[in-house]
Chain A
């Protein structure tokens, strides 16, 4: 059974002016089990990772990341975004089993 999709969090800068290129930072709690480890009985612990991350802004995909087992537990992902207008981000993390965690966050451009 896959690990539960953990708590997603995001940090969106404030005080943003139109045209600024800002950095969006995200975190989610997840073990990112590599499939390389063995348990105490010597059995391989099956791989269970977050496989993809997608960021949409007002419904349009702006950034995506494909993750492999080498990404650390509790993945941290930071990426840039050119802030032309206020709007809503939606972030989606998806695991090997196809389960997703979602988080929405507003960007306010002054």
Chain B
């Protein structure tokens, strides 16, 4: 894994879309969570459908690679939506009793946008993942 500053990580998480910066509000929210800690790439997965069936109920799952022991575990995963009325979506807080660092729920997305997940680990490190979800107005496939 490559250690990066928060700002660099934002640009490198999805190289293909690096030119598309997050909105200032989302960047500030990320900064508020990360603080002056080191952001690491990888080891975290944000799973959402590439194309949402229904913006009112989009399945979201997060998972973080971690042994989930007392000495080495994920304490929290925060999820942010770049273009929703409020960036904050949910925070999952884990304990070693979970055995794995993963969770799922369903969320609302008003429009096509990027989601960001930030994991906080017991060693003070932070991991970040980003994924685009398309909220389409209707297809013509077939």
Contact = CB atoms under 8 A, between A and B. Distances in A.
Chain B binding surface, main DSSP class:
strand
Contacts of B92: 63-65, 79
B25 interface: no
A77 B105 contact: yes
Given A36-B85, A75-B106, A70 B98 contact: no
20 contacts: A21-B100, A34-B85, A62-B95, A63-B98, A65-B103, A66-B91, A67-B90, A69-B85, A70-B86, A70-B108, A70-B109, A71-B107, A72-B57, A72-B105, A72-B106, A72-B107, A75-B105, A80-B100, A82-B97, A82-B98
Nearest to A20: B99
Nearest to B88: A68
B: interface residue count bin: 20 to 34
A61 interface: yes
B91 A70 contact: no
Contacts of B95: 61-63
A77 B60 CA distance: 10
Interface in B89-120: 89-95, 97-109
A71 B105 contact: yes
B114 to A, nearest CB: 14
B126 interface: no
Contacts of B81: 70
B56 interface: yes
B113 to A, nearest CB: 11
A: interface residue count bin: 20 to 34
A71 B103 contact: no
Contact of B90 (A34, A36, A65, A78): A65
B107 A62 contact: no
A23 to B, nearest CB: 8
B86 A68 contact: yes
A80 B61 CA distance: 12
Contacts of A65: 90-93, 103, 105
A60 interface: yes
B84 interface: yes
Interface in A72-110: 72-73, 75-82
Contact of B98 (A62, A67, A73): A62
